[in-house]
């Protein structure tokens, strides 16, 4: 039986321990896997200065499939997240997080069986942020048409393949009308191609409330990056925590499966870590690679082990990492040997030609610009500059001009909106900015455009 290579990134903290447990269990099931070692995390930083060296990225590209242990991500500084680096470098656009109640695992709600499909590249995770002034930090949120369409199609394709009945788009389009509005628009555009699957949408805050009260109403959920990150952890809590939460990151012909919990350096080397999350991710990886019988054998062994009451300490049991792995291996040894195996094709592209970047609409028209000014107190902006009329000044998202000044704390950056009665040119905008530059210290500008009569910017007050 020929073996298939899988890149193994052990990670740091408890990563090496749970990786060793998983290797033992995969070997016990005689899955045809050849592990290829690669480095990322704190050890890679010490060795190369980078959390995820380019050689690791190239190794995953060459092999096509990787299994990753947890890596430490510093908060508020330090190196960039290894997870984010890998996802972006390999364009792993779909983060898939199943949440299913496991027997023998204490959970607040029984019978949960749903899948989170999270867009994995865009949103605020682009890391495009900077200090505008001493008072104001800014982060840009990017939602794109092809990115939204691609993740929606993946969700529907996966739902169809797994005979799921419903896909729900989770969003905040009532507030973020343009970014989440585009995400939801692409969702329903793709949904038309899958009439056999029910399509619906829900606002993210209501979604969270519904999940903790009636999770059975959800089947497959597709979300932008930030909301997907938060809601997927909420769903993990419904089934027992991150210790039993698998995860996979899927791209076109590439996939990285991982334990989604942290590296837990406080218990590293103490034989206390729970390997279940990484093991469940390994089962998903084996299915992705087509080794269905081996995946089923390991899954049955894990369930049988949990049902028998053999659990790690975090799940209320008494077993250490090695002892739990040994218990799963014993269950495998009692199972019927696999005499053959199925190899299916790796996940291919779910992107279609229609999902590609679209051309610029012929009806696009430049209408004005937002001018970000650093100023103490509300700036006295000219009512007119060139062909543009002053429409609004806002501070921290609240309109402060025209009309009565709201009772709010002002910071030193204001957004000033200028609009023209008709279409204008880039030259008109630059001339207006040059005129304003004589009297005001400005940070940046944003052009305001109509797209075939549909405003590409929010006209709501205070937005």
pLDDT tens across 305-331, in order? 999 999 999 988 999 999 999 999 999
Q: How many residues does the chain have?
A: 463
Q: Is 233 a known active-site residue?
A: no
In this prediction, residue 166 carries a pLDDT of 98
Whole-number pLDDT of residue 59:
94
Half-sphere exposure of 69 (CA within 13 A, CB side): 30
Query: What is the arithmetic mean of pLDDT over 71-93?
Result: 74
Q: What is the arithmetic mean of pLDDT over 100-110?
A: 89
Determine the Cα–Cα distance for residues 345 and 292; give it in Å rounded to an integer: 12
Catalytic site includes residue 418: no
- What predicted TM-score, i.e. pTM, was given to this entire model? 0.84
Coil, strand or helix: which one is 123?
Answer: strand
Q: Does residue 133 have a pLDDT over 80?
A: yes
pLDDT of the residue at 301: 94
The pLDDT, as a whole number, for residue 65 is: 96
pLDDT for 218 equals 98
Query: Hey, how many other C-beta atoms are within 10 angstroms of the C-beta on 403?
Result: 9
Residue 349 is predicted with a pLDDT of 45
Instruction: Single out the catalytic residue among 12, 68, 154, 172.
Output: 172
Determine the pLDDT at residue 386: 97
Residue 197's φ and ψ, nearest 5 degrees, are -115, 130
Report pLDDT for 345: 37
In this structure, the number of other CB atoms found within 10 A of the CB of residue 269 comes to 11
> Which of 12, 39, 68, 125 is the catalytic position?
125
Point out the least confidently predicted range of 138-142, 168-172, 221-225.
138-142
| Highest mean pLDDT pick, 70-84, 266-280, 342-356 | 266-280
Q: Is the pLDDT of residue 339 over 50?
A: no
Helix segments in 90-192, DSSP class H: 145-161, 179-191
Angle at 117 between CA 115 and CA 121, to 5 degrees: 155
272: left (phi over 0), alpha (psi -120 to 50) or beta: alpha
Residue-level pLDDT at 341: 40
Residue 128 DSSP SS3: coil
Tell me which of 295 and 354 has the higher pLDDT.
295
Report the candidate in 42, 47, 54 with the shortest Cα–Cα distance to residue 10. 42
Instruction: Give the lowest-confidence range in 76-90, 323-337, 382-396.
Output: 76-90
Residue 75 pLDDT > 60, yes or no? no
Task: Kindly name the residue from 123, 180, 201, 229 that is annotated as catalytic.
Answer: 229
- Whether residue 343 has pLDDT greater than 80: no
What is the C-alpha separation between 349 and 356, in angstroms, rounded? Answer: 12
Mean pLDDT rounded to a whole number for the chain = 88
- Please check the confidence at residue 15 and state whether its pLDDT lies above 60: yes
Q: What's the whole-number mean pLDDT along residues 269-284?
A: 94
How far is CA 389 from its chain centroid?
Answer: 40
CA atoms 400, 405, 408, 413: torsion sign:
positive
pLDDT at 103 over 90: no
Mean pLDDT along residues 102-114 = 90
* 125 tagged catalytic: yes
Identify the active-site residue in 27, 205, 426, 437: 205
Of residues 425 and 397, the one with the higher pLDDT is 425
* Closest by CA position to 342, among listed 289, 380, 388, 300: 289
Residue-level pLDDT at 352: 62
- What is residue 453's predicted lDDT score, i.e. its pLDDT? 61
The yes-or-no answer on residue 39 being catalytic is no
Task: Using the predicted structure, report yes or no on whether residue 203 has a pLDDT greater than 90.
Answer: yes
List the one residue out of 229, 265, 273, 220 whose CA is nearest residue 249.
Answer: 229
- Cβ(450)–Cβ(456) below 8 Å: yes
pLDDT at 390 over 70: yes
């Amino acid at each position: 039986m020929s073996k298939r290579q899988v890149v193994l990134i052990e990670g740091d903290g408890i990563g090496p321990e749970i990786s060793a447990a998983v290797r033992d269990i995969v070997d016990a099931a005689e899955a045809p896997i050849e592990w290829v070692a690669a480095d990322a995390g704190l050890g890679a930083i010490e060795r190369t200065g980078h959390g995820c060296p380019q050689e690791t990225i190239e190794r995953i590209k060459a092999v096509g499939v990787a299994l990753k242990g947890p890596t430490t991500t510093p908060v508020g500084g330090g190196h960039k997240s290894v997870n984010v680096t890998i996802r972006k470098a390999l364009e792993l656009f779909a983060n898939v997080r199943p949440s299913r109640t496991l027997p023998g695992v204490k959970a607040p709600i029984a019978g949960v069986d749903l899948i989170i499909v999270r867009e994995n590249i865009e949103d605020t995770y682009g890391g495009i942020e900077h200090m505008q002034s001493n008072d104001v930090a800014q982060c840009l949120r990017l939602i794109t048409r092809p990115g939204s369409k691609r993740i929606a199609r993946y969700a529907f394709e996966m739902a169809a393949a797994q005979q799921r009945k419903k896909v729900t788009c989770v969003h905040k389009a009532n507030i973020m009308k343009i970014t989440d509005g585009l995400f939801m628009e692409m969702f329903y555009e793709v949904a038309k191609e899958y009439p056999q699957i029910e399509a619906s949408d829900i606002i993210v805050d209501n979604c969270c409330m519904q999940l903790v009260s009636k999770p059975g109403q959800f089947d497959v959920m597709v979300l932008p990056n930030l909301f997907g990150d938060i809601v997927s952890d909420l769903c993990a809590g419904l089934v027992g925590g991150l210790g039993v939460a698998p995860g996979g990151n899927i791209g076109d012909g590439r996939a990285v499966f991982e334990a989604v919990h942290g590296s837990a350096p406080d218990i590293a080397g103490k034989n206390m870590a729970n390997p279940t999350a990484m093991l469940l991710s390994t089962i998903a990886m084996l299915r992705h690679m087509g080794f269905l019988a081996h995946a089923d054998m390991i899954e049955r062994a894990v369930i049988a082990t949990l049902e028998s009451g053999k659990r790690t300490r975090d799940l209320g049991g008494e077993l250490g990492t090695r002892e739990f792995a040994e218990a799963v291996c014993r269950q495998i040894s009692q199972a019927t040997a696999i005499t053959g195996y199925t190899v299916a094709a790796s996940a291919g592209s779910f992107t279609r030609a229609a999902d590609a970047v679209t051309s610029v609409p012929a009806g696009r028209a430049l209408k004005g610009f937002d001018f970000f000014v650093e100023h103490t107190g509300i700036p006295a902006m000219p009512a007119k500059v060139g062909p543009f009329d002053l429409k609004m000044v806002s501070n921290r998202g609240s309109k402060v001009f025209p009309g009565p000044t709201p009772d709010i704390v002002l910071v030193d950056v204001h957004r000033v909106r200028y609009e023209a009665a008709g279409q204008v040119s880039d030259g008109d905008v630059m001339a207006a900015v040059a005129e304003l530059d004589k009297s005001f210290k400005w940070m940046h500008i944003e052009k305001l455009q109509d797209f075939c009569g549909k405003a590409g910017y929010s006209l709501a007050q205070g937005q």
